[in-house]
């Protein structure tokens, strides 16, 4: 009969996802470090106007190429603009692109992946299109898309999202293909549950954990792609400071003012590292083969 000790063991029932999440963070200090750095960067981007910054676009030719750690923390560039202000405001672009691309490509990929995983004929069709998209290097695809449209932040997000979608679709499709063979999905079918409801109730919640991990990697790679695009002059328009185009503008002055590349470069590396550490921690924690103690 029902065993008594089990009752006292867990007086309140919490969702297994949340339990594993908490457990994960406790056991992965690097993930916490990543989360802290990422949150700090987000705070920096949000609070940019109140962090002792000046107008990042204000030009002052008399004060050009001042070295860092003097009057200007990060020095000034060849037009006399304050690099510190430009880097802090640049965080807005990188984080916006990273998070927006991660969110958009995950949602779009999820929707397409769920359909392809469950409907045979759609699968063959959509996956060939996705294979086609995947055969083009993501940066090249984004450059091609940017060449077709005018430079703006929205177009950058769109171009990078489009090149990231196939990877999410592949992941979701493989998850759905394995989940639909799970006995609890068979049980739902036997219980008379419709396909739509089975997808929402049984398949979707079980794709969240791996998608979260994939989302962090996409966020990191989108920030790098944005910088590459800006560096090549095919990304964020020059009137918006982004880490990529600060580095792009400074590359000709690299030998006399290396700090111009150093500061945005360090910020980009740090943010990407933070996001990746967070993603690794989540993956270790949410992967049942690596860490399931229940």
Partner 1 sequence: MLGSEALVTTLLQVHELRKYFPVKKDFFGRGTAKVHAVDGVSFSIAAGETLGLVGESGCGKSTAGKTILRLIDPTSGTIEWCGRRIEALGRAAMHPVRRELQVVFQDPYSSLNPRLRARDIVAEPLRNYESLSEAQMREHVAFLFEKVGLRADQMVRYPHEFSGGQRQRLGIARALAVRPKLIICDEPVSALDVSVQAQVINLLVDLQAEFGVSYLFVAHDLAVVEHISHRVAVMYLGKIVELTDKRSLFRNPQHPYTEALLSAVPVPDPKAKRKRIILQGDVPSPVTPPPGCRFHTRCPYAEARCRAEEPAMKEVRPGHSVACHLR
Query: What residues line the site for partner 1 (CB under 8 A)?
Result: 1-3, 6-7, 9-10, 13, 15-17, 182-184, 186-195, 201-202, 205-206, 294
| Shortest distance (Å) from residue 12 CB to partner 1 | 9
Nearer to partner 1, 199 or 268 (CB): 199
Q: How far is the CB of 193 from partner 1 (least distance, A)?
A: 6
Nearer to partner 1, 190 or 256 (CB): 190
Give the residue with the Cβ less far from partner 1, 53 or 193: 193
Q: How far is the CB of 210 from partner 1 (least distance, A)?
A: 14
Q: How far is the CB of 67 from partner 1 (least distance, A)?
A: 57
- Count CB atoms within 10 A of the CB of residue 16: 10
Closer of 70 and 183 to partner 1 (Cβ): 183
Helices (H), the chain: 5-9, 16-27, 29-46, 83-118, 120-134, 138-148, 153-179, 183-190, 195-198, 208-231, 243-250, 259-286
Q: Please state the closest distance from residue 219 (CB atom) to partner 1, in A.
A: 25
Which is nearer to partner 1, 202 or 283 (by Cβ)?
202
Separation of alpha carbons 140 and 228, rounded Å? 10
The owner of tokens 């409801």 is 197
Q: Whole-angstrom Cα distance, residue 151 to residue 174? A: 35
Interatomic CA distance for residues 92 and 143, integer angstroms: 21
Distances (CA, A) of 193 to 58, 112, 200: 62, 21, 11
Assign 242 to helix, strand or coil.
coil
- State which residue, 22 or 251, has the beta carbon closest to partner 1: 22
Q: How far is the CB of 57 from partner 1 (least distance, A)?
A: 49
Provide the minimum distance between the beta carbon of 3 and partner 1 in the complex, in angstroms, as a whole number: 6
Of 27, 16, 6, nearest to 288 by C-alpha is 16
Q: Provide the Cα torsion 83, 88, 92, 97; round to 10°.
A: 60
3 state SS of 140: helix
Q: Are 76 and 61 in contact (CB under 8 A)?
A: no
Q: In this complex, which beta carbon is closest to partner 1, that of residue 70 or of residue 192? A: 192
Reduced to 3 states (helix: H, G, I; strand: E, B; else coil), residue 127 is helix
Closer of 191 and 290 to partner 1 (Cβ) = 191
Q: How far is the CB of 282 from partner 1 (least distance, A)?
A: 17
What one-character DSSP code corresponds to residue 66? Answer: P
* Pair of tokens at residue 153: 């932040």
């Amino acid at each position: 009969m029902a065993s008594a000790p089990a009752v006292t063991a867990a007086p309140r029932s919490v969702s297994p996802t949340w339990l594993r999440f908490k457990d994960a963070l406790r056991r992965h200090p690097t993930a916490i470090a990543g989360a802290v750095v990422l949150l700090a960067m987000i705070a920096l981007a949000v609070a940019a106007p109140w962090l002792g910054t000046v107008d990042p676009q204000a030009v002052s030719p008399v004060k050009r190429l001042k070295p860092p750690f003097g009057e200007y923390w990060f020095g000034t560039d060849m037009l006399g603009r304050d690099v510190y202000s430009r880097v802090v405001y640049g965080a807005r672009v990188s984080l916006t692109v990273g998070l927006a691309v991660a969110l958009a490509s995950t949602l779009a990929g999820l929707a397409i992946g769920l359909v392809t995983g469950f409907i045979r004929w759609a699968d063959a069709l959509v996956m060939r299109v996705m294979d086609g998209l995947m055969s083009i290097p993501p940066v090249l695809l984004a450059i091609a898309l940017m060449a077709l449209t005018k430079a703006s932040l929205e177009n950058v997000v769109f171009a990078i999202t489009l090149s990231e979608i196939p990877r999410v679709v592949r992941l979701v499709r493989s998850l759905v293909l394995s989940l639909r063979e799970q006995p609890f999905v068979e049980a739902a079918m036997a219980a008379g549950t419709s396909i739509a409801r089975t997808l929402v109730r049984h398949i979707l919640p079980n794709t969240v954990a791996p998608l979260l991990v994939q989302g962090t990697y996409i966020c990191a790679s989108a920030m790098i792609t944005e910088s590459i695009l800006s560096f090549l002059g095919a990304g964020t328009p020059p009137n918006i400071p982004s880490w990529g185009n600060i580095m792009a503008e400074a590359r000709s002055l690299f030998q006399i003012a290396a700090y111009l590349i150093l500061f945005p470069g360090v910020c980009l590396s740090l943010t990407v590292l933070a996001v990746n550490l967070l993603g690794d921690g989540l993956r270790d924690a949410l992967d049942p083969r690596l860490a399931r103690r229940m």
